[in-house]
Amino acid sequence: MIVDADGTPVTFAVQAVPWEPMRARRAEELRAEIEQQGNPVTIVWDREHSAFETWKRVLDTLAEAPGSGVLVEDDVRFCQGWPGRMQQTIDRRPHDLIRFFNPAPGYPEGERPEDTFWSDTCLRFAPGDAADLRSWVGDRDTQFLRDYFDIAIGHWLRLRRRRYWQHAPSLVQHERWTSAVNPNRRTDRLAVDFEEEGSMGKIDPADTLVVMVTVEGREEMLHKFLRSLARQEPGRPVAVHHQGADPRSTFEVPEGVEIATWMQSPTPMGCHAARVQLLRHVHEQGITPAAFINVDDDVTLTPHTRWDPAIEHALQPGVGFVLTNWIKHLSEYPKAVERIRDEFIAQVMVYNGGGMAYGPEVAALMRDLPAVPARFDDIWPLTAYLHGRRNYRYRGSLALHEIMRAGGMRTYMRSEPRPLLCEEWIDYRPVLGAPADRNVAIPMDSDLRPAAREQHRAARAERGWT
């Protein structure tokens, strides 16, 4: 959560146009992204077809906030790592008006004179500023204000004998969309110092570890996955736990793939136990990645696989696992691409999907789980949740996951019914008439018992995660 010096949460207001679909969609995406930080946020919709009137209502909204407020327009996107950088600047300049968008020609970070102010694309008002500015605007209604209300902020600063603080580099980028204020405005009003996605705060792929468990007879699938990894997510080392006859004398690791460690077990033990054992093995080998990604051996990465945002999100305080999206069949690919959104959705019961990211603290929790046979991998997301962490599903990445292929989990499960590990916390739903190995459904969020939700809330409060 982004807070003021006294710990008061910063309030956000997104100024948005509802009748333009791309702006309305972006406003909702911005709200979701801000809510993930735990900050209060309101979308202030344009009801009058007047940007000026909407801007005044934004000021009204922020004026009612108990602390400082941030105005965000509906045509921006945040850089990666923006919450931490915004917090650092607010900590250093608690009483300043701070502009987080750095328009051309691009200024160095520092205090700027009021007569250089324009563009409130992403602007932080110190406590009391929004109320004072709104009072100064009052009932004024001129064509200049209607067209250039952002420049009017400079006039207000001059009357208050104040300057503003320019943050650099920009935390937001302005999209090349036609202006909702004045359609004649240029569309190249961009931040020249914006660091594009993945360049700010990005974890080096070499500092991540792909956690892969597989079994005898599926070496061809493993090879297919590794080839796709080299193409779509290059530079990420892989830890492999292979169960069954050792194939390494004939298995050729694809070019461009680094096997950080290979663990070999003589007999299958199931996905849960195999991954726990592999994480312990990785730890014993002294391998200490900054982030982990669980992947099943029947996954193929696609040109729309993007693990970096999921990894970055997984490393934020209070986050557990971040699942990435997937499809079962290639026939679903075109429509799935259309549904891609740079959006994180809170979801307790997440499984490996198209790859599931988590940080070292979560990996330590998983290493401590009992390495025993299990019906599902539900104990992984549930353990993170019971420790107060929030799990998420990321919609901005897409992989092909050909689940339940022969020789994998299906064969293991059908050899004999496997135990359920989470009956204290989950109400398992029976599947009537199904064989013993499939007589309960994979748990979903709705299957959580009230005790699990109470434990999550208590653990989160204990750790100071709001």
pLDDT > 60? residue 416: no
Confidence band, pLDDT 50/70/90 cuts, at residue 464: confident
132 and 237 inside one domain:
no
User: Any idea what the CATH number is for the domain that residue 251 is in?
Assistant: 3.90.550.10
- Domain assignment of residue 233, yes or no: yes
Total domains, the chain: 2
- Domain assignment of residue 194, yes or no: no
Contacts of 50 (CB under 8 A, 6+ apart): 146
**pLDDT (0 to 100) of residue 21:** 77
340 and 237 inside one domain:
yes
Q: Please state the rounded mean pLDDT for residues 136-141.
A: 87
- Domain assignment of residue 364, yes or no: yes
**pLDDT (0 to 100) of residue 415:** 52
CA 287 to chain centre: 25
- pLDDT tens per residue across span 230-260: 999 999 999 999 999 999 999 999 999 999 9
Q: Please state the rounded mean pLDDT for residues 433-454.
A: 85
**pLDDT (0 to 100) of residue 198:** 40
69 and 121 inside one domain:
yes
- Domain assignment of residue 334, yes or no: yes
Confidence band, pLDDT 50/70/90 cuts, at residue 176: confident
**pLDDT (0 to 100) of residue 201:** 43
158 and 273 inside one domain:
no
pLDDT > 50? residue 165: yes
Distance, in Å, from the CA atom of 75 to the CA atom of 17, rounded to the nearest integer, reads 10
* Residue 390: φ, ψ to 5°: -100, 130
- pLDDT tens per residue across span 151-164: 889 999 999 999 99
Looking at every residue in the chain, the average pLDDT score rounds to: 88
Distance, in Å, from the CA atom of 312 to the CA atom of 132, rounded to the nearest integer, reads 37
236 and 310 inside one domain:
yes
pLDDT > 80? residue 200: no
Of 433, 4, 359, 410, which Cα lies nearest the Cα of 207?
359
Confidence band, pLDDT 50/70/90 cuts, at residue 61: very high
Q: Please state the rounded mean pLDDT for residues 188-216.
A: 77
Distance, in Å, from the CA atom of 152 to the CA atom of 89, rounded to the nearest integer, reads 24
**pLDDT (0 to 100) of residue 202:** 58
**pLDDT (0 to 100) of residue 356:** 97
137 and 286 inside one domain:
no
- pLDDT tens per residue across span 279-301: 999 999 999 998 999 999 999 99
Q: Please state the rounded mean pLDDT for residues 426-439.
A: 78
Find the domain containing 432 and state its range. Answer: 205-462
Among positive and negative, which fits the CA dihedral 168, 169, 174, 176?
positive
pLDDT > 60? residue 340: yes
442 and 383 inside one domain:
yes
- Domain assignment of residue 192, yes or no: no
Contacts of 264 (CB under 8 A, 6+ apart): 241, 242, 243, 246, 248
Task: Pick the most confident of 140-149, 406-415, 438-447, 454-463.
Answer: 454-463
Whole-prediction pTM: 0.58
- pLDDT tens per residue across span 365-382: 999 999 998 888 899 999
429 and 315 inside one domain:
yes
**Per-residue b or e along 391-400, where b marks 16 or more CB atoms closer than 10 Å to that residue's CB:** bbbbbbbbbb
141 and 230 inside one domain:
no
264 and 149 inside one domain:
no
Q: Please state the rounded mean pLDDT for residues 438-455.
A: 91
